[in-house]
Amino acid sequence: MVRKYLALMRLSWGLSLEYRAEGFIWMMTNLLNVIMLLVWLSISKAGPVNGFAQADFIAYYMIGLLVRQLTAAWTSWELSFAISEGRLSTHLLRPIHPIHQEIAINWSEKAMRLTILLPVVATVLLMTPGVRLNVTPPAFVAFVASVAGAWALYFLADYCVGILAFWTTQATAFTNILWGLKIALGGILAPIQMFPPALQAALDWLPFKYMLAFSSEIALGQLGDERVLFGLAVQWGWVAALWLLMRWLWKLGVRSYSAVGA
Amino acid sequence: MAQIEVDHLSKHYLVHEKEPGLIGSLRSFVARKYRTVKAVEDVSFSIDAGEMVGFLGPNGAGKTTTLKVLSGLLYPTSGRVSVLGFTPHKRQNEYLKQFTLVMGQKQQLMWDLPPLETFLVNRAIYEVPKADFEAILKELDDLLELGPLLKKQVRKLSLGERMKCELAAALLHRPKVLFLDEPTIGLDVTMQARIREFVAEYNRRHGATVILTSHYMADVTALCDRIIVIDKGHVLYDGNFRALIERIAPYKVLKVQLDHPPATALLAQFGEVVAVDGPTAVLHVPRAQAAETAARLLAQVEVDDINFEEPAVEDIIRQVFAGRVDGLLAEAKVAESSHSTPNAM
Amino acid sequence: MMRYARLFGLFLKASFLVELEYRANFAARAVVSLFWAGVTLTGAGVFYSHAETIGGWTFNEALVIIGLFTFMSGFIQTFLQPNVQRIIDMIRLGTLDFVLTKPVNSQFMASLRHAQVFSMVDMLLGAVIVIWACMRLGYAPPVLSLAQFALMLLMAVLIVYSIWMVIATLAFWLVKVNNMAELFTSVYDTGRFPVTTFDGLIRLVLTFVIPIAFITTFPAQSVLGRLDTETVLMAVAMGGGMFGFSSLFWRYAVRSYSSASS
C-alpha cells in the first residue's frame, strides 16, 4: 500500500513541476485569507475587537492559511467529471478504491505547496510583534490531531459531494456550496468569536468550524483543555460519520452506475 | 494562371524538449531547451483551378503544416505563397470567404446544438444571402442526405453523420478552394466511400479546387489524379499518380497456383520470383510482357490457377518513403509531361 | 458594426439554446447565486456589527458596492469565463484554427462566442441589491449621476473584459492559464469592500495595477453622486487603454501563434 502511494505521489509531483509557476499561483488563490485579514485589520484599527488585537488577527489568519492549505481538497470536481464523462469505469477496474489515488494526489500537491508556504507563514509570525501562540507539546499534539481531522473531514465531505454526480449533473453546484459554507462558517470570513453567541453555540456541533477555525484556535491557545477535547471528539465523530456516509453513497452510486451500463 | 502557387516554402519552429522523470522535470523547470523543427523545407508546387491534388506522407511529414500555411494560419518562415491571388497569412476577409478548411480530427459544430444552428451562425459570419443559403443547403442536403441529422444535437450523431455535417458547415459559403485534412479519419469503409463520392461530385459540379490529405490510400486513389508526396518536409514526388506507379512498379504481380511446390529456377524464366509459399508462387512480370508471359507459362508449366494483380499502392508509397526510388524528384518533371498516357494500368 | 451586433445576437441565441438543453443548470445556478449573495450579506452584517464604518463607508453605502460586485460577478460568469475557458481549450486542441479562418474579427469571435445565459441571475440580483441599498438610504440618484454611472459601468465592463482577455491570450504561451483566472477571481474578491478599506501599497495596486477599484468602488461612488471628475476621466483612460492593450496583445499572440507552431 505504501509503495502504491509513493508511486502515485511521484507521478503527480512530476505533473505539478511540468507547469512552472503554477504552484505559486495556486498559493495566491488563497488570497481570500489575506483579504479578510486586511479587512479585520481595518476594523480593529481603533482597538481590539472581541478580544482580538491586530497581532491576534495576523496570527489567526496566518495559521488559518497554513491549515487551509493542509486541508484543501478538490477531488469532487475530478470525481464528478470522471463520472459524468464515463471515465470512472477504468478506475473501477483497478484493484484499488479510486479514493486512494485521489488521496495520493492530494498529499503530493500538499508537499509542493507547503515547501513554499511554510517559510512565508513562519517569517510573518516571527516578524509580527505581540503574536501569542501556544507551543506546548500537548497543544502541538492537539493541533496536529485537529489538522488531520480537518483534512479528513473536508476531504470526505467533498468526496461525498462528488459522488452525487452519480445521480445529478449538478454536483459541482454542491461542491461550490460546501466550499462556501467552509468559507463562511469555517472561520475564513471571520473568526468564530466574531459571530453572534447563538450562532457560535450552534457551530460547536456543526462540522464547519472543525474544517478550519478549530485548529487555528488551538494554535493560538484560545481554548481550554476541556474545549479542545470536546472539539476533537466532535470533529472525529463527524469524520467517522462522513466515512460511513461515503461508503454507503459509493455503494449505492456504483450500483446505479453499473445499472445504466455506462 | 495557377490558382495556388507555393514557391520555395519553408516553415520552421521551436519546440521545448523535456527529459523524462523528476530530474528532467526539474531541469526543464530551470532552463528549457529548444530545438528547431523544420516542418516544411523548400517546397514548391502550383495547382490549377479545379484540380484535385492528394498530399501523401507519413505523420509529421509536413502535410498539415502546408495546409495551414495555405489557409493563412501559419506564416511561412521563408518562401512565397499565393492562393487565388491572395497572400494567405494576411488573412483578408475577401480571402477567408473563398476557401474552407475541414479537419477530420477537429470539429467546429456546436456540440450541444443541432448542426442547423452552426449553419445559421456560419451563414451570418460569411454573409451568405438567405436565398443562396437555402439553395446551397438544399443541394448539400441532396448530396449528403442530411435530412433528419440537421435537427438532432451534434452529440447524438455518429462519427460519420457528424463528418457529413462538418463538411456541409464548411461548404455553406460555396468556397472555391477546399483544404481537406484527413476528412475520412476514423470512419468506416462505407462512410469513407460516401464522403469520397461527395467530394468528387462537388468538384465536378462547382469546379472547386481540392487539396486532400489522408492516411487512407483509397481516398487519394479514388479522387486525385495528381499527388504530391511529402516526407520530412520535402517534396519527394509531384505528378501524375498512375505515372508514379508505372515508374516505381513497372510490373504486374502474377500469382500462380501449382499442384506441387515449384522449382524456383523454372519459374525464374518468366519473371522475378518474389515469394514461394508451398505450391503458390508470386512473380513480378514486366507490364508490357504480361499477357505473353502468362501464355508461355500456361504452355510450359502445369498450373492450377493463375491471376494478375496490380501492385499495392501502399507498397509503392512505402518505397518512395524508404528512399528506394532515386532521382524521383528529377523524374517528376518527366512524369508530369508523360501523364497523358491514360489507363496504363 | 450592424453585422457584429447581429452576430452577437445570434451567439446569444445559440448559447441560450445550449443552456436550455441543461435545464437543471438554471436551478443550480439560481441556488448557488442566492447562497453566495447570502454569504456576502451575512459577512457584511458580521463586519458592521463590530464597526460603524469600514473604509469610511456605512453599511447601507457598502451595500451598493456589494450589489455592484454581484452584478459584475454575474457579468464575468455570463460572458467572460465561458469564453476564456473555451479559448484555452481551443488553443490546446487546435480548434482555434476554425476561428482564425473565419472572415470576422478573431478576437470578437473568440471572446463573445458563448454566454452562460443563466448566470445573468447574478446580474439581476446585483441590480436588486443596488436598488435596495438606495431605498434603505432613502436616496434617489439624480439623472446626472445616473449618466455618469452608466459611463463608469461601461468602463468597468471594458476593464474586466480586458483583464480576462489578457489572461486568455496568455494561454498561447502558458499551458495552464486557468490558475491565472483563478488568481484574478481571488483578487476580485477585494471588490466586495470599499477600496479605502485597504491601506497604502495595496490600495495603490487595487486602483492602478489590478484596477478593482474601478470595477466596484468608483461606480458605487458614482451612483451615490460622490465621484470627482478626475476619477471619471481616469476611468475612461483606464478602460480605453486596457481595451486597446488587450486587442493589441491578442493580435500579437495570434501572429506569434502563426509563426511559432506547426
**Residue C179 is nearest to which of A25, A177, A195, comparing CB atoms?**
A25
Q: Chain C: list its partners (3+ Cβ pairs within 8 Å).
A: A, B
Kindly report, residue by residue over B269-305, the tens digit of the pLDDT.
888 888 888 888 888 888 888 888 888 888 888 888 8
- Which of B19, B27, B29 to mutate: most A Cβ within 10 Å? B29
pLDDT-derived band at A27 (thresholds 50, 70, 90) equals: low
Q: How far apart are CA A213 and CA A53, in angstroms?
A: 17
Averaged pLDDT score across all residues of chain A = 86
The beta-carbon neighbor of C50 closest among A30, A177, A194 is A194
Q: Do A177 and C32 touch (CB under 8 A)?
A: yes
Rounded CA-CA distance B25/A108 in Å is 15
C259 contacts chain B (CB < 8 A) = yes
- Return the pLDDT at C262: 62
Find the closest chain C residue to A42 by CA distance.
C197
Q: pLDDT for A102-132, tens place per residue?
A: 888 788 778 877 887 889 899 999 999 988 8
CA A156 to chain C, closest CA, distance in angstroms equals 21
Q: Using the beta-carbon criterion (under 8 Å), do C47 and A43 form an inter-chain contact?
A: yes
Inter-chain CB proximity A17 and B29 less than 8 Å:
yes
Q: What residue ranges do the domains of chain B occupy?
A: 4-244, 250-310
**Closest Cβ–Cβ partner in C36, C186, C202 for A28:** C186
pLDDT one-digit tens code per residue, B156-177: 999 999 999 999 999 999 999 9
pLDDT for res C261 = 67
> Grid coordinates in use for B206?
462547382
Class of domain B250-310: alpha beta
What separation in angstroms does the CA of A150 have from each of A153, A213, A235?
5, 9, 8
What pLDDT shows up at residue B295? 86
Please report which confidence band the pLDDT of residue B323 belongs to, taking 50, 70 and 90 as the band edges.
low
- The chain A residue lying nearest B26, using CA atoms, is A17
**For position B203, what pLDDT does the model report?**
94
A261 Rama sector, left if φ>0, alpha if ψ -120 to 50, beta otherwise: left
Contact in structure between C193 and C212 (CB atoms under 8 Å): no
Whether pLDDT at C11 is above 70: yes
Mean pLDDT of A155-170: 89
Q: Return the half-sphere exposure (C-beta side, CA atoms, 13 A cut-off) of residue A166.
A: 22
* Cell 466574531 belongs to residue: A194
* pLDDT (tens digit per residue) in C58-94: 999 999 999 999 999 999 999 999 999 899 889 888 8
Which CATH superfamily, name and number, covers B4-244? Answer: P-loop containing nucleotide triphosphate hydrolases (3.40.50.300)
**Residue of chain B whose alpha carbon sits nearest to that of A15:** B25
The whole-number pLDDT of residue B49 equals: 95
In chain B, the percentage of residues whose pLDDT exceeds 70 is 90
Report the candidate in C58, C59, C250, C71 with the shortest Cα–Cα distance to residue C162: C250
How much is the average pLDDT of B316-321? 75
Selected residue of A6, A11, A15, A18 to mutate for chain B interface (largest B Cβ count, 10 A)? A18
pLDDT of B52 higher than 80: yes
What are the backbone dihedrals phi and psi of residue B111, each rounded to the nearest 5 degrees, phi first?
-55, -45
Cβ neighbours, 10 Å, residue C60: 16
CA torsion B311-B317-B320-B325 (nearest 10°) is 10
Dump pLDDT digits (tens) for B67-94. 999 999 999 999 999 999 999 999 999 9
Strand order in the sheet with B4-17: B33-47, B4-17, B78-83
> What pLDDT is stored for residue C67 in this prediction?
97
pLDDT tens digits, A49-90: 998 999 999 999 999 999 998 898 888 887 887 787 777 777
A212-261 pLDDT, tens per residue? 999 999 999 999 999 999 999 999 999 999 999 999 999 998 888 765 54
